[in-house]
Amino acid sequence: MTDTKSTESSPQQRWTAVDGYIAEHLLPADAALDAAVADSAAAGLPPISVTPNQGKLLQLLARMQGARSILELGTLGGYSTIWLARALPPGGRLVTLEAERRYAEVAQVNIARAGLAELVELRIAPALETLPQLVDEGAGPFDLIFIDADKQNNPGYFEWALKLSRPGTLIIVDNVVRDGAILDPDADDPTVGNEGIRGVRRFYEQAGAQVEQGSVSATAIQTVGAKGYDGFALVLVEGTG
């Protein structure tokens, strides 16, 4: 009997290989992005940045949006920051929020090496502290907001994102599928469920309520790839609620 198992690939191996194929054809080599990945890994940062194809999607969405101002929650090593900031026109601005000083220091180097230090402002503090400051400063409205920090705080982040939006702002939320764990029956039980999953489910409820009011239009897309099975939500802020 021939053992085909050893040459068959698992779904995850296949998703990773296909991500590679897509990148090979469509994503030109980029020394600054490669260096950001390498230095983030060398510094021991968790390997949870967006994939190259997803980074490019963020960049294309920012360009389609004509974004001149971008807000990011969750910088990590600045990988998604670089993709997004490269979509900005001269004079554009990206504010990115990170709680971990050590990650932020790695990010600052990565961003500077990409030649984006002038466009990017990195604020080191828990995002729920920085967001009200941004409102007080009149820093908004932003054209695009990328929510990709700790998932249990997604409900608060989404509320602040709406306050920092205008009609036409695009809010993108990462990690809204989590291997399908958002459907776990225990997800809403605080004694059992995972806080992050609860935060994601609360976000869907909030966004759904906004959809019903007509104040946003939204969808979520499931994705597979090198970083597994997950998804992102797109929320377009409408004229009035």
Binding interface with ligand SAH (CB under 6 A): 48-50, 74-76, 79-80, 97-100, 103, 126-127, 148-150, 153
- Give the binding-site size for Mg ion (rule: CB under 5 A): 3
Minimum CB distance to ligand SAH, residue 81 (Å): 7
Tokens matching residue 41? 């890994």
Stretch that binds Mg ion, among 83-91, 149-157, 167-175, 199-207 (CB under 5 A): 167-175
- Write down the residue that tokens 């000083």 correspond to: 101
The interface mask with ligand DHB, positions 160-199, x = CB under 6 A, is --------------xx------------------------
Return d(Cα 165, Cα 237) in angstroms, integer. 7
Residue type, position 136, single letter: D
Region for residue 41 given its phi and psi (left: phi exceeds 0; alpha: psi -120 to 50; beta: otherwise): alpha
Crossing angle for the helix pair 154-163 and 195-213, nearest 10 degrees?
A: 30
Strands 120-124 and 170-174: unpaired
Alpha-carbon distance 56 to 218, whole Å?
Answer: 21
At 98 the three-state DSSP class reads: strand
Binding mask 32-61 vs ligand DHB (x if CB under 6 A, - otherwise)? Answer: ----------------x-------------
In the complex, minimum distance from the CB of residue 38 to ligand SAH, in angstroms, rounded to a whole number: 14
Binds Mg ion by CB under 5 A, chosen from 174, 202, 203, 231 = 174
> Which stretches of the chain bind ligand DHB, using CB under 6 A?
48, 74, 148, 174-175
Question: Which residues contact Mg ion (rule: CB under 5 A)?
Answer: 148, 174-175
